[in-house]
Amino acid sequence: MLFRRRADRAALALVAVTAALGLALAPRLPAEVAVHFTAAGEPDNYVPRLVALALAPAVAVATLAVVRGAARLDPPNDPRSIDAVVLGTTGLLAAVHLLVLAWNLGYRVPMSLVAAGAVLWTLALAGYVVLREGP
């Protein structure tokens, strides 16, 4: 089984919770959901509601599978570093999914802050892995 580590189960639970929240909010979302935004925070790509609700969870599960597959091909020195990548990446994708839902429900989230947060999160995750893996 591909997803047998505790980090995988936690990541899949996070995906399931955000997917369930999306389904619960589906009746309140517009028929066409904004899923991509310009640097100014204006939406520039829309998809049908059901596609938007399925897209982020599907991408998160696919990303989890790719990360685990890559770790099998090139095992890390410390398996906890891949666990951190799994949880960190899934957490970031879940946050993006929640932000997309929030924006489409009328909560205008400043995209510059979202971008800055994503960059900081990614740098922190990469730094953790580099420190764990060593030279």
What tokens does 70 get? 């890559």
The whole-number pLDDT of residue 120 equals 95
The whole-number pLDDT of residue 41 equals 83
**Is residue 49 predicted with pLDDT exceeding 60?**
yes
Residues 6 or more apart whose CB falls under 8 angstroms from that of 21 comprise 98, 101
What is the domain partition of the chain in residue ranges? 6-133
The whole-number pLDDT of residue 98 equals 94
Q: What's the predicted TM-score (pTM) here?
A: 0.87
Assess contact for 20 and 65: CB atoms under 8 A: no
Q: Mind listing the pLDDT tens digit for each residue in 103-118? A: 999 998 888 888 899 9
| Per-residue confidence band for 90, with pLDDT thresholds at 50, 70 and 90 | very high
